[in-house]
């Protein structure tokens, strides 16, 4: 019974999904750059199910940070493509990712308390070690039977990869490694990591945001909107009008980072109580190159995370879709936290006040995004939804469209084989 997750056999897809995939498959080479996806990709529950089963289950999904499972006996629970998962650090120091479904009759095993040596199923108290091996199964028979179960039963093990302390899990045993797909972000890290960077992880919102996950990340990556939506909170980091303004990166095949950077009006700025400004609550990091102290880089890592490389912090948002129009997220904008910070910042005597200031500034920006996201989601139901026309500063949206079209076509082929 030692097993890994196996793809389900191909099934015929729902007609609504087939129609949307046909429409996308008919896109010409330029279409993904020039028009938006069919609105049904944002509103159809069947398409959402297809996306979860066939795209998210073949993607690297960020579930948290190494700081959350720093020592043996620390556990983390999450969901990947709708599958409950557990992450644990074994006695040998190894990190393990596994399905959280008990091998007895499938009850979902909750996250154990910190320090627990075993995960325990709540239904009949079968227990598992941090590597997912069965350790106990009450009243299942004599010692020989228990030994036989212990020798053979293990929670299905999942692919796990660490990237700069972020824990990514992939349900696809054949998935290509993550790190090469994020190579374009490597040059950004050096000046931060010299500082003993430590995470203040976010907690995911417990109330879903009422829009599709793609609306969430499109809003993040859209360089065109801050000038109009974020008047007063984002003027300090404009996409236009200063030097060369917003910059984009090219997308190579297999890239999983969609990146833009914008200048700040003054070096060493960052998030303050009123949004982006010169007196950053998190002090600028001295080891960053001048270039990074004068710009903010926004990176989307579809489909589960967004990041902001700023002068004083790397801020990140974790995203978990729970329905076609229901998305959980966690970051300084939505909840609190989601920062990688130098030790020297965390040790400041007024650190918590600084965190509160960043949270306040982030939430003011977020309060401006919420109504436009709600309205964009509502528009996806309209018969008058346009195909769209992209502005020069919407390069990242075009790149995301291409990422999606490729992912959908790949998934459609894989699941029909």
Could you list the residues that contact Fe ion (CB under 5 A)? 369
Instruction: Kindly state the tokens that stand for 68.
Output: 């959350």
Question: Residue 1 Cβ, how far from ligand FES at the closest point, in Å?
Answer: 14
For residue 161, state whether it binds ligand FES (rule: CB under 6 A). Answer: no
Q: Judge whether 191 and 292 are in contact, CB under 8 Å.
A: yes
Instruction: Kindly state the tokens that stand for 395.
Output: 């390069």
Nearest residue (CB) to Fe ion, 317 versus 345: 317
H or E element that contains 99? strand 95-99
220 binds, among ligand FES, Fe ion, none (CB under 5 to 8 A by kind): none
The distance from CA 11 to its chain's CA centroid, rounded to whole angstroms, is 28
Instruction: Kindly state the tokens that stand for 268.
Output: 């060493």
369 binds, among ligand FES, Fe ion, none (CB under 5 to 8 A by kind): Fe ion
259 binds, among ligand FES, Fe ion, none (CB under 5 to 8 A by kind): none
Question: Residue 244 Cβ, how far from ligand FES at the closest point, in Å?
Answer: 58
Non-local CB neighbours of 274 within 8 Å, separated by 6+ positions: 232, 233, 361, 364
Q: Among 17, 62, 61, which Cα is nearest to 43's?
A: 17
Instruction: Kindly state the tokens that stand for 100.
Output: 């959280």
Residue 356 to residues 99, 128, 274, 278, 405, Cα–Cα distance (Å): 36, 39, 12, 17, 39
Nearest residue (CB) to Fe ion, 54 versus 369: 369
State the DSSP string of 33-44: HHSPPPTHHHH-
3-class DSSP state for residue 415?
helix
Query: What residue ranges in 264-330 does DSSP mark as E strands?
Result: 270-272, 275-277, 295-301, 305-309, 314-323, 326-330
Question: Residue 226 Cβ, how far from Fe ion at the closest point, in Å?
Answer: 6
Cβ atoms within 10 Å of 250's Cβ, excluding its own:
9
Nearest residue (CB) to ligand FES, 10 versus 123: 123
Nearest residue (CB) to ligand FES, 121 versus 264: 121
Nearest residue (CB) to Fe ion, 372 versus 414: 372
Q: Among 315, 302, 307, 325, which Cα is nearest to 406's?
A: 302
Helices (H) and strands (E) in the chain, counts: 12, 19
> Binding-site residue total for ligand FES (CB under 6 A)?
8
124 binds, among Fe ion, ligand FES, none (CB under 5 to 8 A by kind): ligand FES
Question: Residue 95 Cβ, how far from ligand FES at the closest point, in Å?
Answer: 23
| Contact code string over 112-131 relative to ligand FES, x by CB under 6 A | ---------x-xx-x-----
Nearest residue (CB) to ligand FES, 123 versus 190: 123
Our CA angle for 97, 202, 176, nearest 5°, is: 40
Q: Assign residue 250 a region (left: φ > 0; alpha: ψ between -120 and 50; beta: otherwise).
A: beta
- Site residues for ligand FES, 76-115, by CB under 6 A, read 102, 104-105, 107
Query: What residue ranges in 227-303 does DSSP mark as E strands?
Result: 247-248, 258-263, 270-272, 275-277, 295-301
Nearest residue (CB) to Fe ion, 137 versus 223: 223
Question: Residue 365 Cβ, how far from Fe ion at the closest point, in Å?
Answer: 6
Question: Residue 102 Cβ, how far from ligand FES at the closest point, in Å?
Answer: 3
For residue 145, state whether it binds ligand FES (rule: CB under 6 A). Answer: no
| Contact code string over 4-33 relative to ligand FES, x by CB under 6 A | ------------------------------
104 binds, among ligand FES, Fe ion, none (CB under 5 to 8 A by kind): ligand FES
Question: Residue 55 Cβ, how far from ligand FES at the closest point, in Å?
Answer: 30
Instruction: Kindly state the tokens that stand for 344.
Output: 């020297």
Question: Residue 373 Cβ, how far from Fe ion at the closest point, in Å?
Answer: 9
| Contact code string over 197-236 relative to ligand FES, x by CB under 6 A | ----------------------------------------
Q: What whole-number distance in Å separates Cα of residue 355 and Cα of residue 119?
A: 33
Nearest residue (CB) to Fe ion, 128 versus 224: 224
Where do contacts with ligand FES occur on this chain (CB under 6 A)?
A: 102, 104-105, 107, 121, 123-124, 126
């Amino acid at each position: 019974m030692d097993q890994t997750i196996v793809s389900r056999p191909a099934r015929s897809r729902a007609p609504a999904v087939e129609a949307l995939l046909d429409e996308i498959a008919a896109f010409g080479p330029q279409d993904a750059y020039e028009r938006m996806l069919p609105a049904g990709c944002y509103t159809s529950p069947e398409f959402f199910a297809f996306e979860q089963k066939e795209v998210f289950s073949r993607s690297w999904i960020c579930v948290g940070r190494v700081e959350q499972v720093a020592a043996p006996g620390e556990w983390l629970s999450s969901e990947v493509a709708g599958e409950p998962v557990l992450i644990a650090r074994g006695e040998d120091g190894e990190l393990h990712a596994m399905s959280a479904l008990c091998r007895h009759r499938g009850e979902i095993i909750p996250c154990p308390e910190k320090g627990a040596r075993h995960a325990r199923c709540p239904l009949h108290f079968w227990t598992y070690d941090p590597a997912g091996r069965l350790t106990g199964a009450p009243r299942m028979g004599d010692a020989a039977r228990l030994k036989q179960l212990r020798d053979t039963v293990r929670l299905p093990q999942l692919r796990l990869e660490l990237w700069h302390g972020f824990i990514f899990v992939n349900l696809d045993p054949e998935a290509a490694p993550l790190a090469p797909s994020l190579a374009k972000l490597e040059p950004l890290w050096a000046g931060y990591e010299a500082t003993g960077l430590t995470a203040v992880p976010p907690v995911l919102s417990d109330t879903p945001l009422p829009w599709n996950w793609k609306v969430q990340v499109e809003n993040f990556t859209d360089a065109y909107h801050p000038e109009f939506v974020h008047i007063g909170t984002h003027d300090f980091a404009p996409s236009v009008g200063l030097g060369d303004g917003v910059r984009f990166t090219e997308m190579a095949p297999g890239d999983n980072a969609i990146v833009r950077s914008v200048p700040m009006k003054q070096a060493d700025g960052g998030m303050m109580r009123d949004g982006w400004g010169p007196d950053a609550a998190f002090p600028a990091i001295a080891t960053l190159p001048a270039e990074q102290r004068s710009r903010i880089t926004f990176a989307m890592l579809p489909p589960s995370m967004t990041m902001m490389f700023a002068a004083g912090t790397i801020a990140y948002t974790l995203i978990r879709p729970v329905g076609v129009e229901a998305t959980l997220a966690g970051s300084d904008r939505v909840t609190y936290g989601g920062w990688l910070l130098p030790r020297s910042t965390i040790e400041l005597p007024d650190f918590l006040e600084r965190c509160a200031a960043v949270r306040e500034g982030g939430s003011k920006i977020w309060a401006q995004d919420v109504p436009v996201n709600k309205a964009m989601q509502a528009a996806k139901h309209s018969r008058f939804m346009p195909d769209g026309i992209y502005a020069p500063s919407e390069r990242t949206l075009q790149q995301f469209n291409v990422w999606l079209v490729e992912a959908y076509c790949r998934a459609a082929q894989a699941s029909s084989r």
